[in-house]
Amino acid sequence: MDLNLIRVFVAIYETRSLTSAAARLYVTQPAVSQALGRLRRELDDPLFQRQGRSMEPTALAVSVFPGLREAIAGIDRTLDATHVFDPAASHRRFRIALSELGEIGWIPAILKAVRAQAPAAEIEVVPMDVDALPEWLARGVVDLAVTPSPVPGRFEQTLLKSQGYGVVMSKLNPLASAPLTLEAYLAAAHVSVAGDSGLPNLAAALGRLGSIIEPQVKVNHFTSLPLLLAGDPSLIATAPDTIAAGWALTWPLVVRELPFDMPAVEVRLYRRATTQQTAALDWLYATVARAIQGSSGQFFVIHGDSIEQRPARS
């Protein structure tokens, strides 16, 4: 079978789109359609059937994909070894999936590290969607993803950070003046952030104690917390301790240790499983990992006028 036909098959399987497959392979969509026609005739199977906007694989396509993908990956690795990726000459656009906090905390270090070696390369941040991430990585929608949420699938990954949690509150909160006890913690008015990856660990830790908390306030973004906590001294939030410590530099907030044991949240870097341009991906993966591991994060930028420093209104 023609090697180019195998590449077309793998590209369609991973993108579920003739248009996206053509863009990946730098050919026209009619060329991809023609190649798919040849594949169908050679294998005597439709291989892909349109369902809405998606080209869904048949049972035969699903069965042959792993072997064909590994064959292409092996060839690409061999070719990449003979053509070393030169970041200094690259104009490639890299796509990295990051959460709101990840974008705030890590993108400055990532951009600095990438531009130091690849000044003409482009970085596009894709807003994190944990549910869609396995498909994104499998199809090459994004090159990398940084998340503490476990990602189903056999994706190469590396541990970047182990993030502990603490309790953040206003300096005026009565609980701020003494070590925090479990009883006081459970009785307090809590704020939680939807989608916080630490919530399962928190719930499990409290469950081992036979306790639960029902937040009185739920917000969608971590960036809402400093102003909310500073403005209402009755509230407390369980948040990543390094981020909370950064807030305490510019807001009238304090951070206290949790009054119970809670496992740290592991932040991991994942890379796409698709085979195209593996040398460039190897470089990006290593560069981003070093950048984040060597940075404490820029979370202190989530600040504003400290409540106690704001001028009084007339």
Residue 51's Cβ-side half-sphere holds a number of Cα atoms within 13 Å equal to 7
Convert the pLDDT of each residue in 246-283 to its tens digit. 889 889 999 999 999 998 889 999 999 876 778 889 99
The predicted structure's pLDDT at residue 277: 77
Letter for the amino acid at 87?
P
Residue 253 pLDDT:
96
Mean pLDDT by 10 residues, the chain (314 residues): 86 87 85 93 93 92 89 76 82 90 88 96 91 86 90 90 93 93 96 85 92 93 91 95 88 95 92 82 95 74 46 39
**Helix (H/G/I), strand (E/B), else coil: 176:** helix
β-pair partners for 265: 163
Tokens representing 158?
A: 């590396």
H/E run at residue 79: helix 59-82
For the chain, the average pLDDT equals 87
Can you spell out the DSSP letters for 6-68? HHHHHHHHHHS-HHHHHHHHTS-HHHHHHHHHHHHHHHTS--EEEETTEEEE-HHHHHHHHHH
**pLDDT per residue over 84-136, tens digit each?**
789 999 999 999 999 888 888 889 999 999 999 999 999 999 988 888 898 88
With residue 246 as reference, give the H or E element that holds it.
Answer: helix 241-247
Q: Tell me the one-letter amino acid at 176.
A: A
pLDDT at 298: 57
Delineate the domains of the chain, giving CATH numbers in brackets: 3-82 (1.10.10.10), 88-160+266-298 (3.40.190.10), 165-263 (3.40.190.10)
What are the CB-based long-range contacts (under 8 Å, 24+) for 86-89? 87/114, 87/117, 87/118, 87/121, 87/283, 88/117, 88/118, 88/119, 89/120
Please state, in angstroms and rounded to a whole number, the distance separating the CA atoms of residues 38 and 21: 16
